[in-house]
Amino acid sequence: METEPLIIDWMFPLLEHLHNQGQGIEVMQVLKKWAVIVGAAMVIVIGISGGATEAAAAKGTPISVYLNGKKQTFDQPPVIVNGVTLVPLRGIFEGLGAKISLNGKTITATKGFTTIVHTIGQYGALVDGERIAMSQSSLVLKGRTLVPLRFIGEALDSKVSWDSGKRQVTVMALKGDELQARWAEKADTFVWAGKLDKLKQMLKYGWKPALSEQAWVGSVLTKNKDIVKLFLDNGANVNVIATDEDGGNLALLEAATLPYRVTADGDYVGTSQTSDLELLRLLLAAKPAIKELEQQIGSLLWTPASYNRLLIAQELINAGASVKSDGERKFSAALVGAAGYVDKDGNRAIEMMELLLKNGADANDCNCNPLEEYTALEYASGILYDAEDGSTEHKPDIRAVQLLLQYGADPKHDNSLYEAVAADSIDVVKMLLEKGADPNKLHPIAEQTPLELARENGSKQLIALLEEKAKS
């Protein structure tokens, strides 16, 4: 805390004078009287200034301010209010290299690309259009406007420190990496606000976009192509892997393929595949290390496959993205994502599945433990639920099952027959039985066979089909 007790030093000469006049008794009476008066005055001051102004007439070491190593001289000494050092408005702004203008009670200060707008007496200011709270308002004292030193210094890219022993405030302009780190925070704010003009101004003053990784990620998540281009043109790393809100890893290339953009308020707004394809091409033009990225996060096709974004998947395949899994069961295969897709009208991602299979995807490879996770054939053979309305069921599409079987999917290796029975799909059950599916194979989680499930559900046709197969 930047504090010092208030000492009414003008009282002591008066008391000494009374004592010298032999009025010792009256001294105590006067002291009590002045104590009451001073107490009342303090209440008035607190009411006006919003807190006791400490050291306004302090006895002892005055507050000193050093700006970039040089001691500052102000026409009104600094004061401390509620633990906050306040200094004359014009002195600090001009000392920090800012231009100021006054319009009534409104102060506007500009330095480089930074603009501060503050109304005297308010507990906040607009810094580049963003409202920032202040712990202490500015105030007028002896005809001079005083402003919070730390708030102003930090807003204008300086480091502010307080030495309570020396009662000294040191303000040093940030340089090098420290300045770039401060500007990275500002760039992030500008990105989410879509302020391309501010980012361009920052470039003129030496900002290095390649050092503002969080802002760079934000530009892709907000899908502002002009801002993305600015970053790319100034050395941003296209191979960045960000951490999403669930703690998972997400490559910027993947973020570009999502069917939505994120707003500053945390909302998700749908985007068109055509628009996102343009964004993806911007990133691909920067020649990302696709193989290295996929070693860390799995196939870049997972996201477009899971959302059935065919044009984007084709673009990634053309750029070298792999349709195959890593074989280490670290990441689900893109084909599984496609097989698990269904839209609100019940349509499956058959074209997407065919695209992946034609380009070498293994119809039997889920890159997972099939006892714990679904295979592509299990998804295709069973019921899928609407993504928006989890209570809406969508029956299997026989074309998806046919496609997988055509490319060698083997129902003997999973529980696709059980899923088809649960979906009450006779056509799919017939196809799976023809490919060797076992009616008596125990489902590891349901602890039930397809035949037992059919009997439980009372489907005579399914029971007959399964019993006939079980006998053969």
Q: Dihedral sign for Cα 283, 286, 291, 296, please.
A: negative
175-186 burial, b at 16+ Cβ within 10 Å, e below that, comes to eeeebbeebbeb
Instruction: Determine the longest span between alpha carbons in the chain, in angstroms.
Output: 129
**What length does the chain have?**
472
- Looking at domain 195-471, its CATH superfamily turns out to be Ankyrin repeat-containing domain (1.25.40.20)
Average pLDDT score over residue span 289-298? 93
> Sorting pLDDT into bands at 50, 70 and 90, what band is 249?
confident
Using a pLDDT cut of 70, give the percent of the chain over it. 86
Which of 431, 445, 370, 436 lies closest to 397, judged by CA?
431
> Sorting pLDDT into bands at 50, 70 and 90, what band is 60?
low
Residue 44 has pLDDT above 70, yes or no: no
Query: For domain 1-173, which CATH number applies: 1.10.10.10, 3.40.50.720, 3.30.457.10, 3.30.70.240?
Result: 3.30.457.10
> Sorting pLDDT into bands at 50, 70 and 90, what band is 43?
very low
Q: At 116, give phi and psi (nearest 5°).
A: -115, 130
Top pLDDT among 22 and 412 is at 412
- Ordered by start, the domain boundaries in the chain are 1-173, 195-471
Q: What is the DSSP letter of 371?
A: T
What confidence tens digit (pLDDT) does each residue in 116-162 have?
Answer: 999 999 999 999 999 999 999 999 999 999 999 999 999 999 999 99
Strands lying side by side in the sheet with 124-127 = 99-103, 106-111, 114-119, 124-127, 130-133
Dihedral, 84, 87, 90, 92 alpha carbons, nearest 10: -80
> What's the token pair of residue 120?
């005297």
> Sorting pLDDT into bands at 50, 70 and 90, what band is 11?
very low
